[in-house]
Amino acid sequence: MANKNWDQYHDYEGLDKLLTAQNLRSDKAGNPVHDEMLFIIFHQVYELWFKQILFELDDIQERFSSNVVDDRDMQPVLGYLNRIAKILHNLVSMMDILETMPPQAFVDFRQYLGTASGFQSWQFRLVEMRLGLRREDRVSVFHGEFDDELRAESKKTIKDAEKYPSLFDQIDGWLSRTPFIDNQDYKFWEEYRNAIHNILDERIKETQSLSGDALEKELKTIEKTRQKFSGIFDKEKHAEAQENGTWRMSLKALQAALFITVYSKEPILQGPNQLLKLITDIDSLLARWRYRHALMVQRMVGMGAGSGGSSGYDYLMRTVENHRIFSDLFALSNFLIPTQALPALPDEISQKMSYNYSSEEKAA
């Protein structure tokens, strides 16, 4: 019976293939290097987790593909985004294991890698692209397109996926359709802008005790702040900011994201606020992983060229900043004001954002 049960588990997990997929080239060359096994298994495990992330994105993006996202889809979307974040956190932590390999061990079997490089992981490139990293935003590495070095079938998979909206595009569209912020008697951006102007007007009054250079400096700071805030409320200034790359999200999406952030305690906004948090968590974890990867490469090969002919550490460090996807959501922190200065929501809007039974209890 024990053998039969083992056979069922063995077959279900495909262990015949899984446990024989580690082919040490140093062994075949007659010069076995112990740590090559760790190197291979480490990257194979990474590829399995990339496959899981893509599997989660399939479901998430399917739910976001409709013009109207069903409210009941929010719970599974949040669950799957949280799972992706947990996976990425695990991938960052896994660096601790690979870093147990001494640089000398890597040098000893590196010659057997040939032109193989983690840069050729088409699944990771697909994860980046599906999340929203655009081709034109990528750091150049081989003086060509990032997928030039991939196999034909992998390249086709990426080209096919580029024909469809990324998660970034879908979230932008979803945010743009946020209700409550633009009604006949209430416009969020007008109320928020007035609140900002009131804060700045109070700061101007406080400058009465200043004079000379100190007064001039404070007044310039206040005016600069006023102009900064106008960039998220003025259509023309936002269009200019999109043109020069300051903003990527649409104006409606940015305003909706700000609305959700500042009024996140409202019952109906708690789910969307959690979604925005998970999206920024995922972007942060990707940046953290890239940074750890860059440090590991520096530790293993110094400042020289990386595997496969890339510029190694220098290239990887540039991707930490340049391959950010949801930087607009991080930038919203520049536009937050103290909670006590927030304009109160109209009762009608507030009631609509509460659960019905809660509103009824208050009315009673």
* DSSP code per residue over 234-297: -HHHHHHHHHTTS--S-HHHHHHHHHHHHTTTSGGGHHHHHHHHHHHHHHHHHHHHHHHHHHHH
pLDDT (0 to 100) of residue 96: 96
Question: Can you give the pLDDT at residue 361?
Answer: 52
Nearest-10 Cα torsion for 199, 204, 205, 206 = 90
Residue that is written with structure tokens 């000398």 in the block: 104
Would you give per-residue pLDDT tens digits along the chain (364 residues)?
456 666 888 899 999 999 999 999 999 999 999 999 999 999 999 999 999 999 999 999 999 998 889 989 999 999 999 999 999 999 999 999 999 999 999 999 988 887 666 778 899 999 999 999 999 999 887 667 788 878 899 999 999 999 999 999 999 999 999 988 888 789 999 999 899 989 988 889 888 888 888 888 988 988 888 887 877 888 998 999 899 888 999 999 999 999 999 999 999 999 999 999 999 999 999 999 999 999 998 988 876 655 545 557 888 899 999 999 999 999 999 889 999 999 999 998 988 888 865 555 555 4
Q: How far apart are CA 109 and CA 328, in angstroms?
A: 42
pLDDT recorded at residue 233: 86
- pTM score, whole prediction: 0.89
Return the pLDDT at 76: 97
Question: Which of 193, 178, 195, 181 has its CA nearest to residue 339?
Answer: 195
Quote the pLDDT of residue 45.
97
Predicted local distance difference test score (pLDDT) of residue 278: 98
DSSP 187: B
Q: What is the pLDDT of residue 22?
A: 96
316: nearest Cα among 296, 294, 336, 337: 294
Q: Which residues are within 8 A (CB) of 93 and not within 5 positions of it... i.e. 6 or more apart?
A: none
Domains assigned to the chain? 2-363 (1.20.58.480)
